[in-house]
């Protein structure tokens, strides 16, 4: 486990390097001086090696949601934000480091047990494949299939999101990315659209790759995507802290965490901070994320999708050592 504390993280080299890549001032204030958004980071040592990882992940999610509800009862969060007749789409990630089935089933079970959502009213997907119900979610992408539900509208948006779901939960994994610096919640919506190209050529439905994907917030701004999203649950169990696109086992870090919140920009900022801290720790010196993940602040300043100012984010750290980021 890392020994970087919250104070070290904010005042030390990790936050300094993060400020540089995001264009933040050197005197950036600490987290939560005037909080407007809440983000919960839950860590558990050895969660990936636990006798029952699924149960351990469910406990972590319960902790996070209880904290969001400011309650000792996770059910209070779910029942306040979802209804029994909802159809809930989980926008998972299967690129580079996939969102683990244990997280998908933990969300599914929270919806069915705490709210009463039907099993076949919970679906997970990425791009043009997915699955409906707990059995399919537990199988992961290897057990998913294709079909009309997982196709796309004439507007090039996933049918799950645009036509089937009444609510969405964004379930990205935590990773660096060769095009955008980081790929967390804001970028995860790229797998909910089609007709896109790295070249952003004529005729592509969404053109966002220029300037290190600075405009990727356009997806969160869509009513069919961010407009339906009620929660972000980031798989930070084993972040990938290099750029890709191919993965190397050397660059997976056993962080053992979930990052959970409703403000997509605040969640991405915390996730970016974690990745920057891991890189600095591994290198033994500042190792800035490159290209700079400017889309995180642009999602705030241009699209108004949330806050990218740490002073307006209440960061709650829970788990084995609440001070350890």
The domain limits of the chain are 6-319
Residues with Cβ < 8 Å from 284, sequence gap 6 or more? none
Check: CB of residue 264 under 8 Å from CB of residue 305: yes
CA dihedral 272, 207, 125, 229 (to 10 degrees): 60
What counts of helices (H) and strands (E) characterise the chain? Answer: 12, 10
Three-class SS state of 91: strand
CATH topology for 6-319?
Answer: Rossmann fold (3.40.50)
Best CA proximity match to 50, nearest among 232, 320, 322: 320
DSSP 30: P
pTM score of the predicted model: 0.91
β-bridge partners, 37: 313
pLDDT tens per residue across all 325 residues of the chain: 333 344 444 444 444 445 555 544 334 447 787 778 999 999 998 898 999 999 999 999 999 999 999 998 999 999 999 999 999 999 999 888 898 999 999 999 999 999 999 999 999 999 999 999 999 999 998 889 999 999 999 999 999 999 999 999 999 999 999 999 999 999 999 999 998 888 888 888 898 899 999 999 999 999 999 999 999 999 999 999 999 888 999 999 999 999 999 999 999 999 999 999 999 999 999 999 999 999 999 999 999 999 999 999 999 999 876 555 6
State residue 19's pLDDT score. Answer: 54
| Residue among 107, 110, 153, 101 nearest 130 (CA) | 101
Cα separation, 318 vs 238, in Å, equals: 17
State how far the Cα of 233 lies from the Cα of 287, in Å rounded to an integer: 26
| 256, burial (CB in 10 Å: exposed 0-12, middle 13-18, buried 19+) | buried
Q: How many residues does the chain have?
A: 325
The pLDDT of residue 26:
36
* Alpha helices for the chain (secondary structure H): 6-11, 13-22, 53-68, 74-81, 101-110, 134-139, 159, 185-188, 210-213, 217-220, 264-283, 295-301
Distance CA 93, CA 82 (A): 22
């Amino acid at each position: 486990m890392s020994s970087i504390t919250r104070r070290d993280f904010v005042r030390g080299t990790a936050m300094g390097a993060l400020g540089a890549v995001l264009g933040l001032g050197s005197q950036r204030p600490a987290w939560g001086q005037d909080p407007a958004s809440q983000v919960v980071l839950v860590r558990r040592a050895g969660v990936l090696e636990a006798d029952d990882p699924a149960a351990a992940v469910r406990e972590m999610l319960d902790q996070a949601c209880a904290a969001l509800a400011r309650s000792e009862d996770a059910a209070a969060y779910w029942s306040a934000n979802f209804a029994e007749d909802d159809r809930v789409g989980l926008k998972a990630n299967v690129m580079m480091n996939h969102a683990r089935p244990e997280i998908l089933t933990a969300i599914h079970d929270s919806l069915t047990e705490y709210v009463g959502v039907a099993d076949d009213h919970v679906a997970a997907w990425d791009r043009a494949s997915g699955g409906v119900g707990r059995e399919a979610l537990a199988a992961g992408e290897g057990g998913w299939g294709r079909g009309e539900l997982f196709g796309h509208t004439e507007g090039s948006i996933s049918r799950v999101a645009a036509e089937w779901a009444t609510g969405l939960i964004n379930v990205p994994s935590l990773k660096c990315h060769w095009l955008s610096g980081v790929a967390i919640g804001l970028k995860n919506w790229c797998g909910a659209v089609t007709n896109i190209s790295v070249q952003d050529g004529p005729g592509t439905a969404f053109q966002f790759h220029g300037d290190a994907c600075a405009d990727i917030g356009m997806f969160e701004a869509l009513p069919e995507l961010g407009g339906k999203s009620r929660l972000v649950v980031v798989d930070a169990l084993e972040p990938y802290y290099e750029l890709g696109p191919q993965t190397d086992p050397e660059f997976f870090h056993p962080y053992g965490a979930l990052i959970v919140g409703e403000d997509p920009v605040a969640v991405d900022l915390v996730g970016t901070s974690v990745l920057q801290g891991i890189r600095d720790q591994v290198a033994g010196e500042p190792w800035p994320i490159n290209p700079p993940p400017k889309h995180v602040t642009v999602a705030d300043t241009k699209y108004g999708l949330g806050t990218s100012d740490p002073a307006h984010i209440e960061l709650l750290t829970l788990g084995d050592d609440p001070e350890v980021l």
